[in-house]
Amino acid sequence: MRPRVTLKLATSLDGRIAMASGESQWITGAESRLQGHRLRAAHAAIMVGVETVLCDNPQLNVRVPDEQHPDPLRVVLDSRLRTPVDARVLTGALVLTTAEPLALGDAEVVRVEADGQGRPDPAAVLAALADRNITSVLIEGGGRVAASFVKAGLVDVIEWFRAPVLLGHEGRPAVADLGFDRLSDTPRFKRLAVSPLGDDLWERYEKA
């Protein structure tokens, strides 16, 4: 069985996750970020695209004051193995690629089936996680990885933290191009909850 997939978005009011330059820290407030860490603690794996690693060099660990949680498996999607060997995410990580696997720090590098663009195919990615008994994965960006999984119909839940700021069209989108021509083809979600969180809004959706 494939893992349950949650897409976490931390955006501006107009659905942007970063400035055009890639700067994104921080769009949402401290309360949203703490809730983001609680979400990490509730998932078996956290996944990002290589551009997020290159832009943010995230640790992708769980940081909740006064609480101890095991770190979920960190997963990087990286077709051409561009992740720097000293990237913070690599400690104990799983790097899924479509290239010939190379040694990358102490990360496990595994080749999976390619999609039509030569990148790790979303269904193959989930199968590789299922092989490791991973039952839930939190996608933390960026917009291109989000788009691949949305387009493949593989996002079960959206956890959306929305901050009261506008970045404009030039900002990087939370979900990149989906390529649907007809509205009837686009994925619909059902709202589960909306809660204020500091100055932000936390919205939860599941697949309709």
Ligand X SMILES: NC(=O)c1ccc[n+]([C@@H]2O[C@H](COP(=O)([O-])OP(=O)(O)OC[C@H]3O[C@@H](n4cnc5c(N)ncnc54)[C@H](OP(=O)(O)O)[C@@H]3O)[C@@H](O)[C@H]2O)c1
**Site pattern 137..156 for ligand X (x: CB under 6 A):** ---xxxxxx--x--------
DSSP string, the chain: -PPEEEEEEEEETTSEEE-TTS--TTSS-HHHHHHHHHHHHTSSEEEEEHHHHHHH--------TT---PPPEEEEE-TT--S-TT-GGGTT-EEEESSPP--BTTBEEEE--B-TTSSBPHHHHHHHHHHTT--EEEE---HHHHHHHHHTT---EEEEEEES----TTSEESS------SGGGS--EEEEEEEEETTEEEEEEEE-
Question: Which of the ranges 65-73, 100-108, 119-127, 191-199 carries the binding residues for ligand X, by CB under 6 A?
Answer: 119-127
Question: Which of the ranges 21-29, 128-136, 184-192, 199-207 carries the binding residues for ligand X, by CB under 6 A?
Answer: 21-29
Nearer to ligand X, 19 or 190 (CB): 19
Q: 15, 22, 29, 84: which one contacts ligand X (CB under 6 A)?
A: 22
d(CA 64, CA 62): 6
107 scored as a contact of ligand X (CB under 6 A): no
**Site pattern 23..42 for ligand X (x: CB under 6 A):** -x--x---------------
Min dist CB 172 to ligand X, Å, is 5
Name which of 136, 11, 146, 154 is nearest 77 in CA terms: 146
Residues 77-96 touching ligand X, rule: CB under 6 A, are 77-80, 82
Nearer to ligand X, 19 or 44 (CB): 19
Min dist CB 81 to ligand X, Å, is 8
Q: Which residue is nearest to ligand X (CB)?
A: 142
d(CA 204, CA 88): 29
Q: 5, 120, 150, 159: which one contacts ligand X (CB under 6 A)?
A: 120
Interacting residues toward ligand X by CB under 6 A: 10, 17-18, 22, 24, 27, 48-52, 55-56, 77-80, 82, 115, 119-120, 122, 140-145, 148, 172, 176
